[in-house]
Structure formats: C-alpha cells, structure tokens
Structure 1
Amino acid sequence: MNNRLKLLVLPLFAVLLLLGACKKDYFIDTGTTKAEFDGTILDYLKSKPQYFDTLVKIIDYAGMTSIFQTEEITFFAPADSSLRRTYEVCNLILNQLGRPPITKYQQVKPAVWRQALSRYVFKGARSLTDYPQLDPENMAAYPGQIYNSYDDLIMNIGAIYTSGGGVPYAGYRRLTISYIPSASSARDYQTWTSASVASVDIKPTNGYVHVLMYPFHFFAFDPFKFLETAISAGIDN
C-alpha cells in the first residue's frame, strides 16, 4: 500500500479503533479456562456460531477443514468481529482507490485466506504453561519464543506475567501472540503486531484453542498487508 494512501486512511483507521473500543457486544473475556470439549477444534468453533460462524466458513473455503478436524494443532481463534474490523479497513482503502467493497469472503481468493489463517494455527498441542515468558520491557531476558505457524510464517508467542501485590511477575499470566512482518524484525518488538488472548486452554480432542480478545484485534493482524495480498491475487466483484 503506498504511503500517500496510508496517510489518507490512517485517520479513519483511528476512528474505527475508538468505535471498536466502545462496542462490548462482541467482547470475549471469560478468563483462564480449563474447559474440556468433547469434539474436535472444528466442532468447538461450530458450537459457538455467535463468535465463529463466518470463520468456520472461511476455514472450509481456504481448504483447511481437515486440519481443524483431524490434526493435532493449537489454534489462536479470532472472532468474526475481528473479520468485520478488517473488512472495514479494507473497504475504506478500496473506496479511496475507486474500487468496489468486499462484501463477502468469497471475493477474496482461498489462498489469501489460507495465508492469513495460517498465522493462527500451529502444529502440536500447547497450553498456556507450554509458552515461555514474554516481557516487552525486558526482551533480552524474557523474549517469548519464535514459532513457525502451520505454513511456516514466523510468529512470537509468550506469556506476559503481570505484577501481583506490587511484586513483579507475581500476578496472572496473559498469553500473547504477535505477527512478525519479516525475519529481519524477529527481535524488534516495535515492529510486531500483537493480540492478547481472552480465554486460554480450551481443550477439544485434537489440541488447544486460545480465543483472542476483541475489540482491538484485526483479522490477519495487518489489514493493509491483507488487502495488498488480496489485490495482488485478484478480488472478485
């Protein structure tokens, strides 16, 4: 996305963030959970259509259904509300370009959705306790850990330890996943885009689900990059 267009869109982008902060109807904050779910990760997502109805459809459209149904994975689940937020940003930009808006997920190519979804999917089952500590103020000591996502995109995942009773790191742990834009910025926290987890350790039969917190997360982490990829692949009208 060219810099001039970003300058035009960023003020509107900031307004969307503020509006999102006021919308509590899509906010998921159930705290730390130890929920066992009798079914696969895909079954779990289907059981929560108020949060994941469109996400389930995109998983199928992207050709990833068998991954969520049969493989052992860890999934950082973005709610449908995050998808809507990304649509809003994309459509602001498309309007500036004089192009039709994205009104349905089928307008974006399956490969683009798969690339975006892959940032949230990891092989193997990992709970909160399996992730190392992350301290954004002391990355030298507590950097979290770099992981390859399902399709080998680099991400950072770590548990941020809050203070408790005035004692550093003595409070609850907050799981965070971060999108790293390039290998060269793998240790540059300022370039990352992070998302906090609201509900951790939901345990279907084939792995773990960690539900991401709304309203501040945008699906694909970077809606500008998502749109660039979608335009490059071709958006159907």
Structure 2
Amino acid sequence: MTTTRTIRDEVVNVLDYLIKAGISPYRNQVSISGNRISWHSIHTDRPFLASRRDPSLQDYRNWVESGAYSALLFDGSLLQITYEVSDGRISGHRLAYVPCPYRVDPEMLLRDAVLDVVDLHIETDPTSMVLHSPVRFDFDPDSAAPGHPAAHLTINSSNCRIACAAPLRVGRFVDFIFRNFYAPHWRMHSEYFSRGARQRGADRTITEEERSDPHIWWN
C-alpha cells in the first residue's frame, strides 16, 4: 500500500543520495501537508508561476528565491518533486527538471549564492543564455481527456503532452534525468539510479488511443 510516508521516504532517500554524492550542493526539506508531499518553500506567499506562459528566466529566479524546489544540482539546475497520495495509491504528481539558464561554474556555486552567479552572467554576458527546455512528468487523472493523457511528459511547450505509460516513482524519474542529461554522473552512480528505475511502479494509465501515437513506455 502506498502512503504519504512511503513516498516521502523515497524522495528523502533520493535527495540524501544526491547530497552525499556531491551532485547536489543543496536540498530543501521534504514536507507532508494532507495528502501532498513536496518541498518546504522559503516564501510561501509568492505565486509559483510569474505567468501562465512557458517557464522563463523570471520563473527560474523566482523559484530559487522562494526555495520552490526539491534540490539544486551542481550546475544550478533544479529538481521539483511533488506527489499526491489518496486511497493507498499515487493520485497525482509533478516531477520537473529545470535547467539553469546559463552554463555556470560548479565551483562558483559552492562559494556563492546561485542567483549571484546567474546574475553575474546576466550582467556580463546576457546573450549566452542556454536554450535548454524544462522537462516535466505530470500525473493528473482528474484532467484526463483526449489530447491530455492522465500521465504525460511535457517538453519545450506547455501545450506538449506526450502520453506516458503510468505515473513515475521518484527513482525512475531521477534515473531518466541523469541517464539522458548527465551521462557521466549516471555512469558513476549507475547502480543506484538503475536500482531506483527498477522500483515497482504504479498501474498503467495509458489508453489504447494514446498508444496509437508516439508515447513513452517502459517495463
């Protein structure tokens, strides 16, 4: 049976490992509020999104200032991990990887606040922004409809919803992120990430109609 406590423990395990491995210099406390497992923000009064448009540099700065993330990675990128649990199962999630808008020196992030480092790039070389897209896995069965799969992957545009086989446990999410975007780190810690990816997942939610189009599937 899946509970808020078991999901919280899984998230804590992942974040602790990233810290111990030196992959993440900072992580936020994992909190439980009702049936929701997420990070503990510094400024809870700030809106999560500056607008309803696709994430921007302003959103990235707002998330860092507000502590609206689960972990800050060594390159300034963010992991945002939120789950909802109801009736013994995962009933929703938002699992996002937000790349840092600039290529920053990891050594600087160990000495200086991340926004100080990013703002230095904005001031000295503003056109060197990296055009990497956030990657987000959502599970929202209450909003499921044609063109809006219950479990889906969003990249590049908020209108992009690529159907996924099922909700993701956090171990499979971080395995996907590091396997695809940080291959050297994945190879160094492949035993840990692979073990998380093999974790027993949730029931399939993809429909036959969604399977007729390109989709994300795993065993």
- The verdict on a shared fold, with TM-score over 0.5 as the criterion, is no
Give the TM-score normalised by structure 1.
Answer: 0.27
Give the TM-score normalised by structure 2.
Answer: 0.29
Report which structure shows greater RCO (CA 8 Å, sep ≥6): 1
